[in-house]
Amino acid sequence: MTEATSPDVPQFTVGETVRMRKAHPCGADTWTVTRVGGDVGLRCVGCGRRIFLARRELARRLHPRLSAETAKPS
């Protein structure tokens, strides 16, 4: 058990796809997780742009319906 497993800070897995509430300017609203750590690295599925977000910030921006589903790898 670590701090990172606290319920308000969801875990992300490299390679998983997440959906944001707000679409990127390129029109895509899905991102691939490229790095996890202090910040989560994301690559836009539409245009390939890479960004980094704090895990907590990413959790806030995720689409609420999908955030639970994407939290578990399939």
Where do contacts with Zn ion occur on this chain (CB under 5 A)? 24, 26, 28, 44, 46-47, 49
Distance of closest approach, residue 7 Cβ to Zn ion, in angstroms: 30
For Zn ion, the closer CB: 42 or 59: 42
Please identify, using beta-carbon distances, which residue of 32 and 67 lies nearer to Zn ion: 32
d(CA 23, CA 19): 9
Q: How far is the CB of 30 from Zn ion (least distance, A)?
A: 9
Placement of tokens 């399939």 in the chain: 74
**Distances from the Cα of 38 to the Cα of 3, 47, 60, 71, angstroms:** 12, 24, 16, 17
